[in-house]
Structure 1
Amino acid sequence: MAKLSKNRKNLAELVDREQVYSISEAVELLKKSSYVKFDETVEVSYHLNVDTRHADQQIRGAMVLPHGTGRSQKVLVIANGAKEEEAKAAGADYVGNAEYLEKIQGGWFDFDVIVATPDMMGELGKLGRVLGPKGLMPNPKTGTVTMDVAKAVEEIKKGKIEYRVDKESNLNTIIGKLSFEDDKLVENFKALNDVVIKSRPAAVKGTFVKNLVLTSTMGPGIKVSID
């Protein structure tokens, strides 16, 4: 407990909670402040000036980070016939249809992402109450409802991330691992930030990004400038 308190004290001395840092400075500080032995996940949290009660302000999408996420994701593809073979060839971890829908209904969730062909969404939709709360329901906006299942699987395996603004107007996603070289984390951040800024709804007036914080699994929250 004494060691934990000492670590927190060191963090307080290292990071000024009120100061806004450049992304390069923030990455450097995040690495200096790490005191755990595992490879922490690096995340960014935006607080945006949007009202999600309006459909045109519900920001959601997906992208492949330049240097990936540093973590492997298990992909389940729900498809039929030739599309099953395409998915297997692309490296999907699980491929099938009815048998996997039954397994999910029974409480099986040994996967991170579901990719489905449009013709299977009718059946998948029946599992909405199970998949929806876990954020696992495929969606055309994130490229997980598609006939090009091979491309979808390959992108996810390369480091595709999904982002979505929640009801409190926050958007949280990962940009890599703390073990990444500084410049790779910076490049991943800049790629994501460009996409977020370009997603600004036309109806939004004034400042779009109200707050932006970089953090890691056990690290401090560091305010970041979007410039």
Structure 2
Amino acid sequence: MPVRKRNGTLSSMNKALPILGLAAALLLAGCSSTRVAVSNAGQTEQLAAVQTGSVSTSTLPPIGPNGEVAPLATTPDPNALPSSDQQFGVSGGLAAADGSFTTLPAVGTQPNATGRDLTGGITVEKLLGRWTVVAGATQCQLNLTQTAKTGTGRYRASAPACALPGLAVVSSWTIAGTQVQLFDENNDLVAALILSGNRFIGTLSGGTGISMVG
């Protein structure tokens, strides 16, 4: 009888072994899957987030009813400097208080004189008398006469007490085409001027610019 009981117990244990082996295999498989999932989860957490660049935006121009694109309006820069034309209106001009512009005369000139009528060309009769010659800040009085200067074919001229060296030596004058020419006692040309409006402009022999009004 004892032998039978031992054989029955062994038989029961032999039947249980395959079941235990299967359970152990399933347990090991579950642990392996858990380790893989945990490992993958750790790797996923280590991935750095992808950085995206900034996106710029701009305003699109409006589209008209016929499909045309209207130009965008620009805003003027308040710090931009005005151009020279905006500052002075015109080149070489000076803005007046009333909004008009006055053209500045060249250096060494005076505004047009209205005392003489020089229209229709220049003649000896129109040039007779006293004139004011201007060179920079210096002014001289020039006298043109119709008295012939002997041996020259010209008329007498003088510039008494003139501080301009080139003009102080004037002794005669003449008209040569459209020019008024001034000469010294040595018959050397000391100045030549041409008509410009109601005045004459020209240069002395040394190159100094002058104007003559009367």
Question: Higher strand fraction: Structure 1 or Structure 2?
Answer: 2
Tell me which interval the TM-score lies in, with the shorter structure as reference length. Answer: under 0.3
Q: Determine which structure has greater relative contact order: mean sequence separation of CA pairs < 8 Å that are 6+ residues apart, divided by chain length.
A: 1
TM-score normalised to structure 2 length? 0.23
TM-score normalised to structure 1 length? 0.22
